[in-house]
Structure 1
Amino acid sequence: MSLTVEANPAARQAEEAAAAAAARAGVRVVDEHDRERLRDVEELLISIWGMSPHGAPVPFDLLRSISHAGCNVSAAYRTDGVLCGAAVGIVSPGGRATYSLIAGVLPGTADKGVGFALKQHQRAWSLARGIDTMTWTFDPLVSRNARFNLTKLGAHATEYARDFYGEMQDDINANDESDRLVAVWPLTSTRSVNCSEGKVEEPQLPEADLVRILEYGPDSDPLLRETPGALWCRAPQDIVALRAANPTEASQWRLTIRGIFESAFASGYSATGVTRTGWYRLTKTSQA
């Protein structure tokens, strides 16, 4: 895969946006190949997700192989040289898309822009190689990640994957079923370009008198609302804490959200954004 930054305006824009995002976050983001630093990446991922019976989230030997194969291990370093974030991506057959396996930041680093800088670096890496789409999966119950993916980056989702990994036993997923939304990030779309430059379209939940409540959640509050041309579905405020405190209610959330998304996607809706308060906006695919 040859680099195309000089000949490709989209790749140039992505490179500039990635550099600006890293500067705002106060980090240096690089394609990491150094063997010992890849060991640090493994340790960072363990510090975020913990160890499972299967081992590290992405073990060192796999990181080493991914890097050696010419795929992407992005690492973010603070000005003092401390590793504070990492993202790992592989390329689908034929070089049609980058598949992002994992991305995370050092605990306590959230809201500093490091995750955004990592994703913009992955975007630039992909476009420099003529790849204009990135995909990954995420837990639909984690509203913070959903907002980052669908609102701040400009991705969308039209596929719901039941129990994608089977039962997970790491520190975050805690024996819950591993349902996932499949994020699709069109790297050159107007929306994605705007997001890369900080011009984010924040979805706004319509006023109560303009919506029809279709369903209530496990907490007895409105869960699914309908407005002309859109559905609005609420995720729980903190599913990780809820799993620990009340696994039965957490399971109820899983099943309820599963039914809503599967029905909505089958009816032609696409998840195109998430509000700051955790409401998904679902619009007809033709309107996305």
Structure 2
Amino acid sequence: MTPVTIDVGARATAAARTAGVTVRTVDDVAGIRAVADFFADVWRMPRDTPPYPTEVLHSLVHAGGAVHAAYAATGSAPGEGPVGASVAVFGPPAAREVYSFVAAATASDRGVGFAVKQAQRLWALEHGASTMRWTFDPLVGRNARFNLVKLGAVGAEYLIDLYGPMNDGVNDGDESDRLTAAWDLTAEPVDTSGPTAHSEDRATATVLRHAPDGGPLAARDEGRLWCRVPKDIVALRAADPALALRWRHAVREVLTDAYAEGFRATGMSRDGWYVLTPHTPHTPHTTSEEPRA
């Protein structure tokens, strides 16, 4: 296994302190039910039909996975539920890989999501893993920036309409394309200010295609490719589902062509541009995917 050159435990502790939370694994009935309720609230579904039922979460823990939950460290009422949570399971032992089934934080977040991922990372390393994977919607720019910049993961593969139609309160009316994030758990952290997606270079790059809003969608120079996503796809999906779907198809076309050519998403700018760089092709290990991200 690749040696770890950073103090992941200290990093997890610092992240939780900064976010004002405590993060722990949960395996009791009441705790797991509270996590199921939390996920239902995040995905705007009734608590009696959550996206991840309590019994499923219990089964994943029993199978050797982990449910992590973040709780406000101060100012919370007794018995108040989690403000962030995640679920992780293991892939085959030969891969030494953990799959993050789901992770979410409250809308206010303030570092809660980062604290949860650091706790997951520590747990995975303690159990012998060196890589973590999960999926996310490539049109949600803030998630892409968190995954690719804040954590330093790479978009390993593009998956078209992975889950088919989805009936939660966040993804209704859209197709479920996903990027798989691959995170080297042993690597030194990236600069948390993240890449700027080389905005000056992008401005002089050749525009390849235009977006549904009439602005540039994709641009390219000799070594990099850029692709823009809408400012807030969740709000757009609610206000104009047809326009949101046109964005889905436009970005899909750019990214599938780029991935077929050997590019991978390695950064996301603050103004919503992916930066894609050449990547040596390899055959990734495949595990079950995150149902909703």
User: Normalized against structure 1, the TM-score is what?
Assistant: 0.89
- Of 108, 113, 116 in structure 2, the residue corresponding to residue 115 of structure 1 is 113
**Gapped runs of 5+ residues in structure 1?**
none
Partner of 2:138: 140
Alpha-carbon distance change, 154 to 244 in structure 1, aligned in 2, over 3 angstroms: same
Q: Does 1:59 align with 2:53?
A: yes
Q: How many angstroms apart in 2 are the aligned matches of 1:149 and 1:242?
A: 22
Check the 8 A contact 2:195/2:268 in 1, yes or no: no
In 2, Cα distance between equivalents of 1:40 and 1:239: 28
State the secondary structure of the residue aligned to 2:182: strand
Query: Identity across aligned pairs (percent)?
Result: 43
- For 1:236-275, list aligned pairs within 5 A: 236-275=230-269
Q: 1:13 Cα shift? A: 1.4
Give the aligned length.
275
Asked if the contact 1:157–1:184 (Cα under 8 Å) also holds between the matched residues in 2, the reply is: yes
Look up the match of 2:189: 194
**Counterpart position of 1:88:** 87
Give the 3 Å change call, closer, same or farther, for CA 216–182 of structure 1 in structure 2.
Answer: same
Aligned to 2:177: 179
**Mapped partners of 1:283, 1:233: distance in 2:** 12
- Name the CA distance, whole Å, in 1 between partners of 2:203 and 2:140: 28
Structure 1 or 2: larger helix share?
1
CA RMSD of aligned residues (A): 2.3
- Matched residues in 2 for 1:129 and 1:208: separation? 42
| Local SS of the residue matching 2:277 | strand
The normalised TM-score by structure 2 is 0.88
Residue 70 of structure 1 and its aligned partner are, at CA, apart by 2.4
Counterparts in 2 of 1:78 and 1:279: CA distance versus 1, 3 Å = same
Offset at 1:158?
Answer: 3.0
Aligned residue for 1:233? 227
**Counterpart Cα distance in 1 of 2:59 and 2:176:** 26
Cα gap change, 1:263 to 1:145, in 2 (>3 Å): same
Structure 1 position 256, deviation (Å): 0.8
Please identify runs of 4+ aligned residues in structure 1 that moved more than 6 A.
Answer: none
Letter of the 1:260 counterpart: V
Where structure 2 has 5 or more consecutive residues not aligned to the other structure, the ranges are: 282-293
CA contact (8 A) 2:202 2:219 kept: no
SS across alignment from 1:206: helix
